[in-house]
Amino acid sequence: MSRPQPLSGFPELLPRQRIVEQQVVDHLRRAFELHGFANLQTRAVEPMDQLLRKGETSKEVYVLRRLQADARDTSDAELGLHFDLTVPFARYVLENAGKLNFPFRRYQIQPVWRGERPQGGRYREFWQADIDIVDQGELPAHYEAEVALVVADALKDLPIPKVRMHVNNRKLSQGFYQGLGIADTEEALRIIDKLDKIGPDATAKLLVDGVDATPEQAEACLQLAAISSEDTSFVARIRALGVSDPLLEEGLTELAAVVDAVATAAPGFVVADMKIARGLDYYTGTVYEVFIEGEEHLGSVCSGGRYDRLASDGKNAYPGVGLSIGVSRLLVPLLQAGRLDATREVPTCVLVALANEEDRPAATALAQRLRARGIPTQLSPSAAKFGKQIKFADKRGIPFVLFTTDEGTQMKDIRSGDQLTVDVDTWNPPAEDLHPRIITE
């Protein structure tokens, strides 16, 4: 068998990197639960008509198909792998509305699949961590600030570079375009969403060609997109552009409330940014994108927004607001660049050494006594020379080796060389050695 080649866009992590990823996921889970979010897991597949409700996504959906399916069996027909967790969640809410208590707060941490061109920070299979708050009928606006603050809490203690949340409001942008006289405001939003990728000249041309904007209207759209601020001063700057529309005023008011609340509770985390558009069709209010400062080329590592019409059964609407942290997009580039690492590649804190194979049952009992007190412990794979067993531990980053000698049970710190007699029922490693830790470059 020839040596297998890696598949582009499907990252697989080494053990040390996986430890980092697991600890980040555990941190996010704890943060979400501290804010009262309940955990859900939804299926990996959804009907195609549900997946394609999101807008320009048809080229990204992986279709489910069995290799040797019976032509008469159509059970897998029209199914695709989910490419985000919001659409499956909306479906879940509709199916279980009678069993849920509203407002309903949920988090999900699962893999998703997206058929886009692999590049730095973009993958075909990746992990997302989502939070959403959904209500029945009406969703109070204060939740739009709350979810931003949850993400601020979730990200602030991670060993990652500084991140900032950029926020806008689709009512603001669409109201501005309406005030200019542009009819197809949703297409204008999708075009503006490409501004950072294609630049202002190409964006202006797309506005002229795509929504029949005049050069003057296109220039006004770019002037709006250029406005940003860390406080509510953006309101006066937008009004100074001289465009008026009721929807614009509604968006200004809503965005100002979000920026004011988040800037007060988490100083330096939020910036109002009028070029944030989120080209997906279902967003109706505040939209969010989080970037690593200095690494903006990786794209947003967290994004989301408010949606009022995604979940509806015809009689009841379930408006919501949510954010999705791209766990893989956030971590994989940092791991691959060596900017994040773990102190060891295994959970093991103590290796129990063997003088000979006859001692294995007694060594197993010692290991069990340590494990019973929550100390990760494993036995040496063989009764090799002690030096070789120490080398086995050192190669994996295991800090302590336990020996049974005529003088009693000895614990050796293989980093410092210190060795002392211990009682396995009372000895504890230093807190920083009990579990692997994340380290930064």
Q: Give domain limits for the chain.
A: 15-341, 350-440
Fold of 15-341: BirA Bifunctional Protein; domain 2 (3.30.930)
- Residue 281 is predicted with a pLDDT of 73
164 annotated among ligand-binding-site residues: no
Region 136-161 average pLDDT: 95
Region 426-433 average pLDDT: 97
- Residue 52 is predicted with a pLDDT of 81
283 annotated among ligand-binding-site residues: yes
248 annotated among ligand-binding-site residues: no
177 annotated among ligand-binding-site residues: no
- pLDDT tens for each residue of 318-333: 999 999 999 999 999 9
- For domain 350-440, give the CATH superfamily: Anticodon-binding domain (3.40.50.800)
84 annotated among ligand-binding-site residues: yes
Query: Which whole-number Å values give the CA distances from 14 to 21, 180, 425, in the listed order?
Result: 10, 53, 34
Whether omega for the bond prior to residue 267 falls within 30 degrees of 0, making it cis, is no
Helix axes of 246-265 and 170-180: crossing angle, nearest 10 degrees: 150
Lowest mean pLDDT among 72-76, 98-102, 297-301, 352-356: 72-76
Region 53-69 average pLDDT: 72
Region 146-163 average pLDDT: 94
Domains 15-341 and 350-440 share a fold: no
Mean pLDDT (the chain, rounded): 92
Q: If pLDDT is split at 50, 70 and 90, which confidence band does 71 have?
A: low
Region 107-120 average pLDDT: 88
413 annotated among ligand-binding-site residues: no
70 annotated among ligand-binding-site residues: no
Lowest mean pLDDT among 41-50, 116-125, 305-314, 371-380: 116-125
Residues 425/431/433/439 CA torsion (nearest 10 deg): 170
- pLDDT tens for each residue of 159-209: 999 999 999 999 999 999 999 999 999 899 889 988 988 999 999 999 999
Give the bridge partners for 134, in sequence order.
104, 320
